[in-house]
Amino acid sequence: MLMAVGSLTVMGIALGGILGAAARFLAVEENPLEEELKAMLPGSQCGQCGYVGCGQAAAALARGEAPVTLCPPGGRAVAEALAKRLGVTADLSEHEEKGPEYAVIIEELCIGCTRCIKECSVDAIMGANKLMHTVIADACHGCAKCIKVCPTDAIEMRPVPMTLSNWHWAKPETEHTLH
């Protein structure tokens, strides 16, 4: 009995000591998580997440205060990258409902004030003073910042249309239990 208690105690102390030493000597430099997360975000400082910019959003993510799905323009890809880095499971159901969007300028309403051009953080709007503006759909990432500054409400967000090239097969509808 004493033998057993003794040997287990000794083993516990010895193994604990090894673990402690390993933690000290083999310690990995803490990753600058915030910087890493910031690099994953689009960096357009659109503020749709409710934080001032991507840096602040990254800080909140690092503190665990913000959900990984916070970035609407980043979409599924960013949410999944963040979730993977932070080791959490992302609830992507919201992203499923709201697909990617892009901004469209309604020609009749645009007065050519150039405010949206200045606001766009990815230079996706073309045009000049007093001339109609247009959005380069490929470059627009759907941050919707331009909508807020438009004095004539001439900009609206539209879902990226489904085409022959981006269509894909839906998940099979299956019965209750498979596999």
Partner 1 sequence: MKLFPIRGGIHPDYRKELASEKAIVALPLPATLYIPLQMHIGAPAEVLVNEGDLVKKGQMIARSGGAVSVPQHAPTSGRIQAITQIVAPHPSGLAQTTIVIEADGKDEWAELPEPIADPFAADTFAINERVAASGIVGMGGAAFPSAVKLSLGTLKKLDTLLLNGAECEPYLTCDDRVMREYADEIIDGARIMAHALGAPKVVIAIEQNKPQAIDIMTKAAAAFAEIAVVGVPVQYPMGSERHLVQAITGRETPARKLTADIGVVVHNVATARAVHHAVRFGRPLVSRVVTVSGGAVREPNNIEAPIGARVADLIAFCGGFEAEPASLVNGGPMMGQPLPSLDAPVVKGMSGILALTAAEINQQPASACIRCGSCVTICPCGLVPVEMAAFIRKDNFEVAARLGVMDCVSCGSCSWVCPSHIPLVQYFNYAKGMINIQERERRKNDQTRILAEAHTQRVEKAAAEKAAALAAKKAQAAAAAAAKQKDETPA
Partner 2 sequence: MSFLSTHQSGPFTHQVSSVQKTMFTVLLALMPATAFNLYLFGWPAILLFTVTIGSCVAAEAVCLMLAGQPTKAALSDYSAALSGWLLAMSLPPWAPWWIGVLGAVFAIGLAKHTFGGIGQNMFNPAMVARVALLVSFPVVMTAWVMPHPLFSAGAPGLADAIAITFGGQVPDSVSAASALGYVKTELSRGIPVTQSIAHVPDLMDMALGTRAGSLGETSAVLILAGGLFLMAKRIISWHTPVAVMGSLFLMGTLFHAIDPARYTDGLFHLMSGATFLGAFFICTDYVTSPVSKKGQLIFGAGCGMLTWTIRTYAGYPEGMAFAVLLMNSLTPIIDQYTRPRAFGRTLKGEPLPLEGKL
Partnered with residue 103 across adjacent β-strands are 157
**34 vs 80 by CB, closer to partner 1:** 80
Of 123 and 153, CB closest to partner 1: 123
Note whether 56 and 48 are within 8 A (CB): no
Please enumerate in sequence order all residues whose Cβ is within 8 A of that of 29, keeping only pairs 6 or more positions apart, or say none. none
170 makes contact with partner 2 (CB under 8 A): yes
Site for partner 2 (CB under 8 A): which residue of 2, 166, 172, 174?
172
| Cβ-based nearer residue to partner 2, 161 or 172 | 172
Q: Are 34 and 41 in contact (CB under 8 A)?
A: no
Structure-token match 């509808």, residue found: 173
Nearest to 115 by CA among 106, 103, 107, 127: 127
Indicate the SS3 state at residue 153.
coil
What is the residue whose two structure tokens read 């932070």?
86
**Which listed option, partner 2, partner 1, none, makes contact with residue 43 (CB within 5 to 8 Å by class)?**
partner 1
User: By C-beta, is 12 or 99 nearer to partner 1?
Assistant: 99
**Position 30 contacts partner 2 (CB under 8 A):** no
Q: Does 173 help bind partner 2 (rule: CB under 8 A)?
A: yes
176 binds partner 2 (CB under 8 A): yes
Whole-angstrom CA distances from 56 to 33, 45, 62, 160 are: 13, 10, 10, 28
Least spacing, CB of residue 125 vs partner 1, in Å: 11
Is 179 a binding residue for partner 2 by CB under 8 A? The answer is: yes
Cβ at position 127, least distance to partner 1 in Å: 16
Note whether 130 binds partner 2 by CB under 8 A: no
